[in-house]
Amino acid sequence: MIKTLLFIGMGSFIGGVSRYLLSHFFQDMTKNPFPIGTLVVNIAGCFIIGLLYGLFERGNLMNSNLRLFLTVGFCGGFTTFSTFIGENFQLIRSDNFFYFLLYLTVSIVGGYLLLYLGYSLIKLIQI
């Protein structure tokens, strides 16, 4: 278990640093308030996780630790959006349309509502 956690942690570190560098690179190029850096990272992460899923289906090309390093670790550290999209993809592929719609809706609507709730609660606190 410790070995698996180390693989995931190393991947997360590399993915997080990569996200920061790539996002800032694109954002600094545009000098625009539109979050192009985050958009590029999210879309690139989806492409990368799609490539990985395709490789995994070709056979036993990678051991489980390398798979976890790349998906949960690197892609999860690079952008959780790629993991979110990947999980939705897996739900569609397995014909779980109800769970796909539930997960999609609750994640987006619930996520935004909870962000707003957290923000509003902090605004109410007098420091």
pLDDT tens-digit profile of 32-75?
A: 778 888 889 989 988 998 888 888 887 777 788 998 999 999 99
Tell me the pLDDT of the chain averaged across its residues: 88
In the structure encoding, which two tokens stand for residue 109, read together? Answer: 């609507």
Answer yes or no: is 40 within a domain.
Answer: yes
User: What is the pLDDT at residue 127?
Assistant: 61
| pLDDT, mean of residues 107-126 | 85
Answer yes or no: is 33 within a domain.
Answer: yes
Answer yes or no: is 28 within a domain.
Answer: yes
Answer yes or no: is 93 within a domain.
Answer: no
How many structural domains compose the chain? 1
Answer yes or no: is 117 within a domain.
Answer: no
Answer yes or no: is 7 within a domain.
Answer: yes
- To the question of pTM greater than 0.75 for the whole model, the response is no
Segments forming the whole domain that contains residue 53:
2-79
Answer yes or no: is 18 within a domain.
Answer: yes
Smallest CA-to-CA distance from 93 within 58, 61, 60, 54 is with 54
Lowest-confidence region among 6-10, 23-27, 59-63: 59-63
HSE (CB half, 13 Å, CA atoms) of 22? 17
